[in-house]
Amino acid sequence: MKKEDSIKLFIRNIQRLRMQKDLSLAELGNRSGVPLWMLEELERGTLPKEMMVADALRLAKVFHCQADELFQ
C-alpha cells in the first residue's frame, strides 16, 4: 500500500471512530492529549506534518484499538 493510501485510511478511520463514539473534536483532544489544531487538520483531510507516532498511539488508546488498526 502506498503511503498516501495509508494516510487517507488513517484520516478516515479517525473521523469514523470519532463519530461512532460521538466525540467532539475538543473532547477527543482532551481525552487523547492531541492538540485541537491537529485534530481540526485531520477533519479537513490533511495529515499535520507535526503529527508523531505518539499522537496516533494516544488516539488509538481513546478508541480502544491498536495504532496499526487506524491505518487499515
Q: What is the CATH number of the domain that holds 20?
A: 1.10.260.40
Domain housing 33:
3-71
What is the model's pLDDT at position 26?
97
Give percent of the chain with pLDDT exceeding 70.
100
pTM for the full predicted model: 0.92
How far, in Å, CA of 69 to CA of 48, rounded? 19
Domain count, the chain: 1
What torsion do the CA atoms of 43, 49, 50, 55 make, to the nearest 10 degrees? 50
pLDDT for residue 24 is more than 90 = yes
In angstroms, the CA 41 to CA 18 distance is 14
Percent of the chain with pLDDT over 90: 94
Confidence of residue 16 (pLDDT cuts 50, 70, 90): very high
- pLDDT class for 15, splitting at 50, 70, 90? very high
